[in-house]
Amino acid sequence: MAEIKKQVVENKKIEKAEMAFGKQNYILMFVGIGFLLLGYILMVGGGSKDPKVFSEDIFNFQRLTLAPILLVIGFVIEIFAIMKKPKISE
């Protein structure tokens, strides 16, 4: 009888382990997507209305430094979210 219960518990673990991602993985993925969206939004703009006039707005801190840093953080979070093993609860 004890062996049957043990086998049932192991089967439940196997069934739960079939899910590729857990709740925490999805939360991390959405956080990573948020960083990526914010980074891409901060890169937008900086152009000149007149194509013959040069605009210095493309060389500001937001587009050259902050946005790429947010993109790298977002991609690192996404990689971590994909690689993290979900916890198997009984």
Which range among 35-44, 71-80, 81-90 shows the weakest confidence by mean pLDDT? 81-90
Contact 9, 80 (CB under 8 A): no
Indicate the domain borders of the chain.
20-83
- pLDDT at residue number 77: 98
Question: Per-residue pLDDT for 5 more than 90?
Answer: no
Prediction pTM value: 0.73
- pLDDT at residue number 87: 76
d(CA 45, CA 85): 39
Contact 79, 28 (CB under 8 A): no
Q: Give tens-digit pLDDT for 6-65.
A: 666 666 665 555 678 889 999 999 999 999 999 999 999 877 788 888 888 888 999 999
- pLDDT at residue number 13: 60
d(CA 73, CA 68): 9
d(CA 23, CA 21): 7
Average pLDDT over residues 57-82: 95
